[in-house]
């Protein structure tokens, strides 16, 4: 009897596990994203077809009066619950009577066979046993018959395979990638970071450089305020990009240069971060030379020919490197804890040094050329800190307390640095030290020991916090090469390399020359990244940032050519230094060569990247539209 009509239709679509395996195999190819989407669409259509056939079969079974139809329906429920299936058979009482009378009796002559009858066994019973044995001897029944692997979408929860995860650490490129999660204290950490990096150290340095050029106070103050507004614009650009993507600057630049192509500017960026760390370390220790009344001077030899300054420098580097590597989460709290006493120390120091400022001799005249020159130097700080704020590399800003958040940003990027600059400029302009490192020493000599010691120790703590942020920025640049989980061990490498650098090249002038050289390349990268973010309006396809077969590809040839050309343009107008006397080969030299590289990269990306970005955004929109359409099918909502 043919019982196929009482069995559910054979499903043509894959199971969830088979789909996950097929998607994983497809994504390992170059055009994996397109193949994966085609598989999902095909399986969605097949599931819809299977569900329709199953619904029609179920309706026929419910309308049928055959007892086998009831068993078939019950088997569907039992399959859903994981129970064994019932056989498609009916009892004699339930079997329908088909023939009511015997039409003909056919007599069949059976040849006689010899049947062995055991003692005490009925002959007829022995005959029946032998007949049954012969009838079933040719039938081979397997021991284990697996149940049919049939699943239905109605009322069945879809569970994804536990071992299938589209995660960055399973990708051939970014197996070490890790995304930093946002925290609720983002704006406080941001404000503390900006105050430590731009609120105190940068205004002091720029004040000395500007005062040494005999710039009027009016030109210096207006130029510095204009420059801080430029820094604020760059900070907003970096924050806008990070807020839309939830990724750090070192990751989003893969959309500009390609996932593998980002390695090239990444080498320049990590070199600049390292040289700037060593420069700040050596200069910071030198600034406190003779400021503290210690039994041992910074120039005294403590281990053979090793000076105390070298010991302090290496010890500080090791500490900040290890903390930045193994205690990354403590960064925001270190900034917050240090920023508060540092602000208090500045107020106390400013009040203590007010007698050194004569307000009657202030020159309020403004020269547009001088003001723009000062603004250009301040803009360097915005380029160097682009995307470096600890909570700018994740979507940490909520819509709550928007006024307080932006008030803190404007205060720590514009208002506080401008006030600090104004004070130190007046001090430097009327009492200019010979080398720029004598201010702390002079402050310690003219103030009472109690005030001087407290302010200087808090200032030293602020320098250590700045070095800690620079060490974190150096380790963060390693993410350009898709390495993040080794951050702790890489901090050991940073400590060893930094110690060797300080030991063999202790002169700050050499690290200043290296920083100036590499900063040109960093400026080109930032210019191209700002343009790319403008073209994309801050919208990036996050999965493609983590996979070379995504929309952004492995390499962007035009972007890499633009990076090389922008860097070359900046180096062509850079002044020669002790490391590269070939700089300035164009014949025209300007101190604003980083801004030249920044502008060149910005214009290049706007000119050559528009068509490419538009195509990528169109592909992303098409895929998202297809994903939205697929979400209407059961089992494909995610």
Tokens of 74: 């019950």
What per-residue confidence (pLDDT) applies to 390?
58
What per-residue confidence (pLDDT) applies to 400?
41
Burial group, residue 473, by CB count within 10 angstroms (0-12, 13-18, 19+): buried
Q: Which CATH architecture has domain 168-630?
A: Orthogonal Bundle (1.10)
- What does the alpha-carbon distance between residue 235 and residue 55 come to, in Å, rounded to a whole number? 58
What per-residue confidence (pLDDT) applies to 360?
76
Which residue is listed with tokens 């007599």?
107
Backbone angles phi, psi at 331, to 5 degrees: -60, -50
pLDDT at 29 over 70: no
Lowest mean pLDDT among 184-198, 211-225, 561-575: 184-198
Which residue is listed with tokens 């983002």?
186
What per-residue confidence (pLDDT) applies to 31?
57
Q: Which of 27-41, 200-214, 429-443, 597-611 has the highest mean pLDDT?
A: 597-611
Average pLDDT rounded to a whole number, residues 298-312: 77
Give, in degrees to the nearest 5, the angle at Cα 244 between 466 and 528.
70
- What does the alpha-carbon distance between residue 215 and residue 209 come to, in Å, rounded to a whole number? 10
pLDDT at 134 over 70: no
Confidence of residue 455 (pLDDT cuts 50, 70, 90): confident
- What does the alpha-carbon distance between residue 201 and residue 436 come to, in Å, rounded to a whole number? 12
Residue of 245, 149, 185, 179 lying closest to 485 (CA atoms): 179
Domain edges within the chain: 1-89, 168-630
C-alpha of 513 from chain center: 31
- What does the alpha-carbon distance between residue 465 and residue 393 come to, in Å, rounded to a whole number? 19
Tens digit of pLDDT for each residue in 460-505?
A: 888 888 888 888 888 888 877 766 677 778 889 999 999 999 888 8
Alpha helices in 292-367 (DSSP H): 308-326, 331-352
Average pLDDT rounded to a whole number, residues 118-122: 54
**What's the longest Cα–Cα distance across the chain?**
141
* C-beta of residue 482 within 8 angstroms of C-beta of residue 173: yes
State the CB neighbour count (10 A cutoff) for residue 514: 23
For 126, how many CA atoms within 13 A lie in the half-sphere containing its CB? 11
pLDDT at 16 over 80: no
Lowest mean pLDDT among 68-72, 99-103, 245-249, 551-555: 99-103
Lowest mean pLDDT among 58-72, 353-367, 395-409, 572-586: 395-409
Confidence of residue 533 (pLDDT cuts 50, 70, 90): confident
SS (H, E, C) 491-537: HHHHHHHHHHHHHHCCCHHHHHHHHHHHHHHHHHHHHHHHHHHHHHC
Backbone angles phi, psi at 616, to 5 degrees: -65, -40
Confidence of residue 182 (pLDDT cuts 50, 70, 90): very low
pLDDT at 30 over 80: no
What per-residue confidence (pLDDT) applies to 454?
73
Confidence of residue 561 (pLDDT cuts 50, 70, 90): very high
* C-beta of residue 269 within 8 angstroms of C-beta of residue 480: yes
Confidence of residue 169 (pLDDT cuts 50, 70, 90): very low
- What does the alpha-carbon distance between residue 351 and residue 79 come to, in Å, rounded to a whole number? 83
- What does the alpha-carbon distance between residue 503 and residue 517 come to, in Å, rounded to a whole number? 22
Determine what percent of the chain is predicted with pLDDT higher than 70.
Answer: 69
Lowest mean pLDDT among 46-55, 160-169, 482-491: 160-169
Confidence of residue 203 (pLDDT cuts 50, 70, 90): confident
What per-residue confidence (pLDDT) applies to 183?
44
**Residue 456, helix vs strand vs coil:** helix
pLDDT at 190 over 60: yes
Average pLDDT rounded to a whole number, residues 58-86: 79
Tokens of 352: 């203590």
Complete DSSP assignment for 604-627: HHHHHSHHHHHHHHHHHHHHHHHH
Average pLDDT rounded to a whole number, residues 196-225: 86
Tens digit of pLDDT for each residue in 374-403?
A: 998 899 888 888 877 655 433 444 444 455
pTM above 0.85, yes or no: no
Dihedral angle over CA of 519, 521, 523, 527, nearest 10: -170
pLDDT at 47 over 70: yes
What per-residue confidence (pLDDT) applies to 519?
93
Average pLDDT score over the chain: 75
Determine what percent of the chain is predicted with pLDDT higher than 90.
Answer: 12
């Amino acid at each position: 009897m043919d019982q196929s009509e009482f069995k559910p239709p054979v499903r043509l679509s894959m199971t969830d596990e088979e789909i996950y395996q097929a998607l994983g195999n497809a994504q390992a190819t170059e055009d994996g994203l397109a193949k994966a989407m085609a598989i999902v669409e095909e399986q969605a259509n097949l599931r819809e077809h299977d569900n329709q056939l199953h619904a029609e079969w179920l309706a026929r079974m419910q309308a049928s009066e055959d007892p086998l139809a009831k068993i078939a329906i019950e088997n569907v429920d039992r399959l859903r619950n994981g129970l064994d299936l019932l056989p498609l058979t009916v009892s004699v009482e339930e079997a329908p009577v088909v023939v009511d009378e015997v039409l003909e009796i056919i007599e069949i002559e059976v040849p006689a066979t010899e049947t062995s009858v055991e003692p005490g066994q009925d002959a007829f019973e022995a005959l029946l046993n032998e007949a049954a044995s012969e009838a079933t001897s040719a039938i081979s029944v397997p021991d284990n018959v697996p149940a049919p692997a049939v699943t239905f979408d109605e009322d069945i929860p879809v569970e994804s395979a536990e071992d299938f995860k589209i995660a960055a650490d399973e990708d051939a490129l970014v197996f070490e990638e890790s995304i930093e999660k946002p925290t609720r204290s983002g704006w406080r950490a941001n404000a503390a970071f900006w105050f430590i990096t731009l609120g105190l150290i940068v205004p002091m340095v720029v004040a000395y450089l500007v005062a040494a050029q005999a710039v009027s106070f009016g030109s210096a103050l207006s130029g510095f305020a204009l420059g801080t507004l430029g820094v604020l614009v760059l900070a907003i650009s970096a924050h806008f990009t990070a807020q839309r993507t939830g990724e750090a600057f070192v990751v989003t630049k893969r959309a500009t240069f390609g996932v593998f192509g980002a390695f090239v500017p990444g080498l320049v960026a990590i070199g600049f971060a390292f040289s700037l760390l060593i420069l700040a370390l050596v200069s910071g220790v030198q600034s406190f030379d003779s400021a503290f009344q210690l039994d041992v001077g910074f120039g005294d030899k403590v281990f053979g020919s090793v000076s105390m300054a070298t010991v302090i420098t290496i010890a500080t580097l090791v500490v900040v490197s290890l903390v930045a590597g193994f205690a990354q989460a403590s960064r925001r709290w270190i900034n917050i804890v240090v920023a508060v006493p540092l602000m208090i120390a500045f107020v106390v120091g400013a009040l203590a040094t007010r007698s050194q400022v004569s307000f009657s001799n202030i020159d309020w005249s403004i020269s547009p050329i001088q003001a723009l020159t000062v603004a250009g130097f301040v803009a360097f700080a915005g380029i160097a800190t682009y995307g470096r704020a600890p909570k700018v590399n994740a979507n940490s800003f909520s819509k709550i307390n928007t006024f307080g958040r932006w008030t803190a940003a404007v205060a720590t990027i514009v208002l506080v640095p401008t006030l600090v600059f104004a004070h130190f400029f007046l001090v430097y302009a009327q009492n200019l030290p010979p080398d720029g490192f004598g201010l702390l020493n002079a402050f310690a000599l003219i103030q009472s020991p109690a005030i001087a010691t407290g302010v200087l120790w808090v200032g030293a703590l602020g320098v250590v916090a700045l070095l800690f942020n620079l060490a974190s920025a150096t380790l963060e640049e390693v993410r350009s090469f898709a390495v993040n989980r080794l951050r702790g061990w890489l901090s050991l490498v940073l400590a060893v390399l930094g110690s060797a650098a300080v030991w063999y090249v202790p002169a700050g002038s050499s690290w200043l020359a290296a920083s100036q050289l590499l900063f040109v390349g960093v400026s080109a990268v930032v210019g191209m990244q700002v343009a790319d973010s403008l073209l994309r309006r801050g919208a990036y396809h996050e999965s493609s940032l983590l996979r070379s077969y995504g929309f952004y590809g492995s390499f962007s040839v035009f972007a890499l050519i633009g990076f090389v050309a922008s860097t070359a343009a900046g180096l062509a107008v850079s002044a020669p230094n002790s490391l590269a006397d070939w700089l300035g080969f164009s014949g025209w030299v300007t101190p604003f060569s980083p801004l030249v590289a920044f502008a060149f990269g910005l214009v290049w990306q706007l000119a050559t990247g528009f068509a490419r970005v538009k195509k990528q955004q169109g592909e992303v929109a098409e895929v998202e539209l297809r994903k939205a359409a697929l979400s209407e099918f059961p089992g494909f909502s995610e």
